[in-house]
Amino acid sequence: MRAIQKQGLGRAVLVDLSDPVAGPGEVLVRARYAGLCASDLHKLYRSSGEKDDANGKLVMGHECSGVIEALGAGVERYPFTDRPIRVGDRVAVDPLIPCLSCESCARGQYMICPKLSHLGLWRDGCFADKFTAPATRLYPLPDEVGDLEGAMAEPLACALNFVDKAALKCGDTVTIIGGGAIGQFVALTLLHASPAAEIIVSEPVPAKREKLRAMGIRHTVSPIERSVGDYVRELTEGRGSDVVIECVGTAGAIQDALSATRSQGRCVLGGLPEGKLPLDLHHLVFGELEVRGVLATDWHFSRAIRLIASGRLPVSRLVDRIISLEEVPEAMRQAHEGKDIGKVAIRIDDSGR
C-alpha cells in the first residue's frame, strides 16, 4: 500500500509498505479522506520526538475517515453503544488513543492520560491506503456525513474543545487570534453553535480575512496594520473582549490575545508555543485575567459528528484544496516554507460518498 512516512526530521516520503494487520481490539481501516494539520507539520519539522519509534520512521496523518476492512480479535461494538462494528462500515477515527484504565481516563480527561498515544504522532497514522486503530476510537458516520466531512470531524472536535474551555456566556464578545484552519473551525462553531453575540477575528492574511467575512464574521482585523487590543476595545466601548481564543502560539499572537481580553475576562491559549516567549504580563495581573491552555480534544468526537450531521456546521466549505496522497510531501514542504496553502484535504480513495 501507499503511505507517507516520516523518515527523520523534515523528511516525508511516499513509500510502498505491506498492509498493516489489525491486532486484538483493533480494526483495519481503508482510508477515504484525510486532513493535513499544523500538528503534522510540527511533527515532521520540529519534533525529534522521544516517542518516535526506534528507527525514526512513522506513517503520518491523524485526521481521517474510511471504511472498515477487517476486525481484529475481540472487536465487537462501537464504544459506549450496543451497535456492532461491521466490515464495510464508514467511520471517522479519533486519533487520540488514551489507555482508558488510568485515573485521568476514568475522569474523562483523556488528553492528560500518562500513557496517551496518538495516530500519526506516536503510532502509524492515516496518510496511507490502510491503517489500524483501536475499536474504542471509532465513530460510525451517519448517512448525512460524507467521507470528506468525516475527515474534518477531528479539527472540529478540537474547535469544540477550545470553545468549551472558553466557557462563553450568552451575549459574550469573543475574539479569535489567528484565522488559519483551527481559527476557522472555531469561528464556524462560534457562529452556528454558541451563544456569542459578537465575534472578532485577528488574521494577517487578506484572503483568510475575506474567507472569514464570507462565512459571516463581521469584524476582522489585520494585526500587522493595527493594534488588535485597540481595535477590540473600539468595538466594545473600551472594555475589551469577554473571551479570547488564541490559535497561533507566537509571542505576538499571545500578546495580542492578552491585550484584547477585558479585565477579569478569559483568555484561552490553543496555539502550540515554540520555546520560551517574551511576554508583557502587566494586563494579565493588573486586569486579573483568567488564562488557560487547551490542547486537542477530550470527549468531543461524537458531538462533532452530530453537529456535522445536523447540517449546521458546513465544515467541508473550510477546505481550500483537495490533493492526492502523492502530493502530500510537497504540500507539507510548501506549508513549512511559509507558503499559505489553506486547509488541505487528501483524497485517498474517492470510491465513497
Instruction: Give the footprint of Zn ion on this chain (CB under 5 A).
Output: 37, 63, 98-99, 102, 105, 113
Burial bucket for residue 80 (CB in 10 Å: 0-12, 13-18, 19+) = exposed
Tell the smallest beta-carbon distance from residue 295 to Zn ion (Å): 11
Closer to Zn ion by Cβ: residue 70 or 100: 100
Whichever of 63 and 149 has its CB closer to Zn ion, that residue is 63
CB of 234 to Zn ion, least distance (A): 34
* Smallest distance from Zn ion to CB 348, Å: 16
* Least Cβ distance, residue 55 to Zn ion (angstroms): 25
Nearer to Zn ion, 156 or 267 (CB): 156
- Rank residues 26 and 63 by Cβ distance to Zn ion and give the closer one: 63
How many Cβ atoms from other residues are within 10 Å of residue 272's Cβ?
15
Q: CB 60 → Zn ion: shortest distance, Å?
A: 11
Q: Which residue's CB is nearer to Zn ion, number 98 or number 134?
A: 98
Identify which of residues 126 and 141 has a Cβ nearer to Zn ion in the complex. Answer: 126
Q: How far is the CB of 102 from Zn ion (least distance, A)?
A: 3
